[in-house]
Amino acid sequence: MPSFDIVSKVDLQEVENGVNQAKGEIANRYDFKGSNTELNWDKATISYKSNDDYKMNAIKDILQTKLHRRGVDISSLKFSDIDQVGGMLMKQEVSLVQGIDRETAKKINSSIKESKLKVQTQVNNDKITVSSKSIDTLQECISWIKSKDFGQPLQFENMRK
């Protein structure tokens, strides 16, 4: 029976490249000269520190721009609140959304049922497997899901005939 998987993944190599490009731009920009600004990537979260709101917003814009140009969907980034770290430093952390959580999986399942397409869905850990007797129906299902917004980027893989 034909099937495909709905997943939500972020290419970590592209995130690392985007963070490195953002670090380079921050190091070269005149408005960051002499400031105590840091941008760190630890394979799970991105964190950055700076002196004032202007620099914090500028870092966020630079980071989003560099990641978007590298093909990373901005909706996969979750920004925390800006925290005061002592002295005049502020810190913000960015986490990456990897996988589909239970709530989003329920929304996707209910949306597929709402479409009245003859498909079966099954939630497997952080992905959803959709199967049907017809490949055309699966392609309609993919189009249906792409037309909806679930708050995170979705990819379709492992199309099996």
Higher-scoring residue by pLDDT: 87, 2: 2
Per the structure, the count of domains in the chain is 2
Same domain, yes or no: 84 and 113: no
Same domain, yes or no: 58 and 116: no
Q: Which pLDDT value is given to residue 59?
A: 92
Same domain, yes or no: 66 and 119: no
Q: Which pLDDT value is given to residue 159?
A: 80
Q: Which pLDDT value is given to residue 22?
A: 92
Read off the CATH number of the domain in which 110 is found. 3.30.70.860
Domain extent at residue 141: 3-8+99-160
CB atoms within 10 A of CB 77: 19
Same domain, yes or no: 80 and 114: no
Q: Which pLDDT value is given to residue 112?
A: 86
List, in order, residues 6 or more apart from 148 with CB less than 8 Å away.
111
Same domain, yes or no: 17 and 91: yes
Same domain, yes or no: 32 and 90: yes
Element (H, E) at 6: strand 3-7
Length of the chain: 161
Residue 129 in contact with residue 113, Cβ under 8 Å?
no
Same domain, yes or no: 106 and 71: no
- With 90 as the cut, is the pLDDT of residue 99 above it? no
CA distance 123 to 106: 9
* The two structure tokens encoding residue 60: 């966020």
Q: Which is nearest to 19 in space by CA: 60, 55, 54, 51?
A: 60
CA distance 70 to 15: 8
Question: Distances in Å between the alpha carbon of 38 and those of 51, 87, 143?
Answer: 10, 15, 42
Q: pLDDT confidence of 140, banded at 50, 70, 90?
A: confident
Q: pLDDT confidence of 97, banded at 50, 70, 90?
A: confident
CA distance 2 to 52: 54
pLDDT in tens, 33-74: 888 888 899 988 999 999 888 888 999 999 999 999 999 888
Read off the CATH number of the domain in which 83 is found. 3.30.70.990
Element (H, E) at 45: strand 45-50
